[in-house]
Homo-oligomer: A and B are copies of this chain.
Amino acid sequence: MFTVGEFARLGQVSKRLLRYYDEINLFRPDQTDPATGYRYYSAAQMAQLNRILALKELGLSLDQIRRLLADNISVDEMQGMLLLKKAEIERQMQAEMQRIRKIESRLLAVHSAESASPLNVVIKRIPAQPVLSTRTIVESFDAGLEIFRQIRTALPDRSRYGLCYCICHSDDLAEQDMDLELGCLLEMPGHSGLALRGGLHLRLGELPAVASMATIVVQGALETIHTGYAEIGRWAENNHYRLAGVPREVSLQLPTAADGRDLITEIQFPVEPLHRD
């Protein structure tokens, strides 16, 4: 028989840990003096302790170990738990690989002067969203902004009408005569169409939900928005995603300056992981 101290020395654990394991009912001393509470461990228990330590090394939680030790456990159950744990570690390694990729991608980006104005892609899940919108062909970017202003003027109520958004339905590179869907998000239901001055008509519609949307926030007008798209493209490539759908631009802040310098836009691009498991 060994006392806690001796047993702890031999087993290379702390006394505290032995008491703790006793307390949580994981590993109890062979005998406990009922009068003094002294714990006495048998030599044979060293094998048991080592078993616990070995299982802990596998990454099992003390709770799982307790169940494994319950000795009414079958070989199959044991195997099941191990396989489960293995799968879990493998998942975790996948996630870590992702992180490594992201870090590497960022290490590349650090050099390309981006540290001044860092663009950061974040994945979001976007729910379906009722909107009020119109679709029209505009000749320039500024004409689009002008329509945003009209919408805002017609719908000043912030509690009912949310942010303005824009979807470009024409091929992306055309900078003239773009086919745009312009509108604003609806915060509250129960609204129908509305005519704007200038012959445009806002119709009730719904933006579909997107499970995984790569988003980025850019500050500035046309030029910067393009770099935002480029950044999302780079990001997707580096992180093994695929662009999968029609991007949206949500305007967080409409410009006050004429040149749109203080426009703040969130670009949203649906993506999918390349190797889904």
Contact = CB atoms under 8 A, between A and B. Distances in A.
A187 to B, nearest CB: 10
Interface of A is mostly: helix
A176 interface: no
A51 B120 contact: yes
Contacts of A264: 43-44, 46-47
A150 B104 CA distance: 66
A104 B125 contact: no
Interface string A217-239: 11100000000000000000000
A50 B103 contact: no
Contacts of A54: 120-122
A80 B252 CA distance: 34
A235 to B, nearest CB: 9
A219 B42 CA distance: 12
A48 to B, nearest CB: 9
29 contacts: A10-B163, A42-B253, A43-B264, A46-B266, A47-B119, A47-B120, A47-B219, A50-B120, A50-B122, A50-B217, A51-B118, A53-B120, A54-B120, A54-B121, A57-B102, A58-B99, A58-B102, A58-B103, A78-B110, A78-B115, A82-B107, A82-B110, A83-B107, A86-B100, A86-B104, A86-B107, A90-B100, A93-B97, A96-B96
